[in-house]
Amino acid sequence: MIRDSGESCKIVLVSRDESSLAPWSGPLQSAGYALRTATTDSECLRLCQEWGPLVLLLDFSLGQGDPFEVCRHLKENDLTRHIVILMLSVQAVGEELEVRAFDAGAEMVLAHPGSQAVFLALIAAKARMGSEQWQVRRKLIRDELTGVFSRRYLFESLRQHVNQFSRPGPPVLACLMVDVDRFKDVNDRLGHLEGDRILQRVAGVIHRMTRKGDVVARFGGEEFVVVLPATSWDGARLVAEKLRKAVEDACSEAGVTISVGLSWHQTRPEPTDGERVADEEVMNILLRRADEALYRAKSTGRNRVCTQSDYEGPERRGLPRVGYPLRVRVRIPGGKVLEQLAEVSTGGLSMPANPDLEIGDSLEVSLVLGGTEVKATAYVVWSCLIRGKGTQLGIRFDRFEPKGGHDTLIRFLGHRTRVTTRSET
C-alpha cells in the first residue's frame, strides 16, 4: 500500500511495519513535507524512479527484500543516484550493519528520531543536499533544450529495461525512433530560434502522451527515442500513431510532421556460441531495427509509422529475426566477387556498403540455407547510415536458381523475404 500527502519537498519513508512509521512520519507531515510511505522494496524502487524524492528513509527491517540491495540499486541508477538515503531503526544497530549501510550508499544511520527539532533540522539539511545533487545530475540526464532525457540517460535506462524484460512471451519492450520531417527546411524557412521552439513543442507533445514509466529522450538533432516498457506490439503501434497525429495537429501552423520507426524486444537472440547475448548487443539491435524502420518511413513519404517488419507474425517463431547473420558470396558489376557477412532485413538482406556498389546495381548472390545452396539475382534498393554499423546496403531478390531456390529462401527467412521485379520499383 502507498499513501501520499503534501506538495512540497518530497520524501519517501519505507518500513514493512506500518505502526513503526509513526515516530518518523508524524514530524515530517507536521512540517509540511510531501510524504509517501511504502511497505516493500518494490514499492520503494517504483516511487523513487517515478515520483522523484530528494530523501529516502529506509527501515533496516524492510523484510521483503534486501534494504542494502535497494540502496545499491538506487545509487547505480542515473535517475535516482542523487537521492539522500538515511537508514532507520527503532533500536540500536551494531557496527556491522552500519558499515554495510555506508558501503551500500547510505548517508547516515538513525537508531531513533530522538528530538523532533533535531530530526527536522537534519531532514532539512539532507533535503538541501539532495536538491543540490539533483541539479548536478539533471544536467547530465536531461536535454538542455527540450527538457526530456538525454542520450546518456537513454542508454542507461534502455540497458536496465533490456535486462529486465529479456524473457519469453508477448513483446514487452518497444522502442520508437522519431524524426522531425525536413527539419533543415524548417530551419531555413522559419529560422533556427523557431526551429528550437518546434523541437521543444514536439518533445512536449511526446512527453504528455506517454506514461510515467516510459522514457522519452533526445537522441540527437531532431531525433527522439521513446522506450515503452511492458507494451505489446499493437499497443506500441497505437502509441506511435497517436504521437504522429498529435504532433501533426500541434505543429499544423508550421507545417511540421514526424516520421516514426518502431521496433520491439521479445526475447534475446539465440546465442551462437552457447553464451548469453550481452545487454549491449540487444540494445544495439533494438535501436538499429527502429532506425531501419524510421528510414523506411522517411523514404516512403514521411509523416507515417513503419515497423521493424510489416511481414512478421506468429508463424515466424523460430525463424531468423532482423539482424540474423548470413555468409553470402556476391558478384558485383565488373565481375569482382566479395565474401560478405550479410544480415536478415525486412524484404531481403542488408550488408556493408562497398564503393563499387550503388542503388540500382545488379548482383549475383549465393548463400547456403539449411544445407541447400541458393543462387539469386538481386539488386541494391537502399543505402543507409546505421549507427554502430556504418553505411549499409539493402538488397532485394529478383530471380532464383535453381527453380526451387525461392521456396527454400521463404522457408528459411519466412514472410520477411520479398521478391520484387524491376517493373514494381
Query: Can you spell out the DSSP letters for 275-332?
Result: SPPPHHHHHHHHHHHHHHHHHHHHHTTSSSEEES-SS--GGGTTS--TT-EEEEEEEP
The pair phi, psi for residue 342, each rounded to 5°, is -100, 170
SS (H, E, C) 84-99: EEEEECCCCCCHHHHH
**Rounded alpha-carbon distances, angstroms, from residue 385 to 336, 353, 422:** 24, 9, 25
What per-residue confidence (pLDDT) applies to 286?
85
Residues pairing with 339 in the sheet = 329
**Structural domains of the chain sorted by starting position, each given as residue range(s) with its CATH number in brackets:** 3-141 (3.40.50.2300), 151-308 (3.30.70.270), 319-424 (2.40.10.220)
Task: Give residue 415's pLDDT.
Answer: 40
The C-alpha atoms of residue 225 and residue 291 are separated, in whole angstroms, by 10
Give pLDDT, residue 113: 64
Q: What is the mean pLDDT of each run of 10 residues along the chain (425 residues)?
A: 50 79 80 86 84 85 71 84 84 80 87 77 86 78 92 85 62 87 92 95 96 90 92 86 96 94 70 54 82 87 83 41 69 80 71 79 76 75 62 71 55 48 41
Torsion of CA 132, 137, 142, 148, to 10 degrees: -80
Rg (the chain; Cα; Å): 27
Read off φ and ψ for residue 57, nearest 5 degrees. Answer: -105, 115
Predicted confidence at residue 311, as pLDDT, reads 38
Backbone phi and psi for residue 237, each to the nearest 5 degrees, phi listed first: -65, -40
Read off the amino acid at residue 186. V
Helix (H, G, I), strand (E, B) or coil at 369: strand
Among 370, 371, 361, which Cα is nearest to 338's? 361
Please tell me the predicted confidence (pLDDT) of residue 318: 41
- pLDDT, position 128: 86
Alpha-carbon gap, residue 105 to 58, rounded angstroms: 12
What pLDDT, on the 0 to 100 scale, is given for residue 234? 79
DSSP code of 19?
Answer: G
What's the pLDDT score for residue 192?
A: 93
Gap between the Cα atoms of 73 and 67, Å rounded: 10
Query: pTM for this structure?
Result: 0.57
User: Beta strand 55-59 with 108-110: parallel, antiparallel or unpaired?
Assistant: unpaired
84-88, strands of its sheet edge to edge: 3-5, 34-38, 10-14, 55-59, 84-88, 108-110
Q: What pLDDT is stored for residue 1 in this prediction? A: 33
Give, for 237, the enclosing helix (H) or strand (E).
helix 233-250
Q: Which residue has the cell 530560434?
A: 193
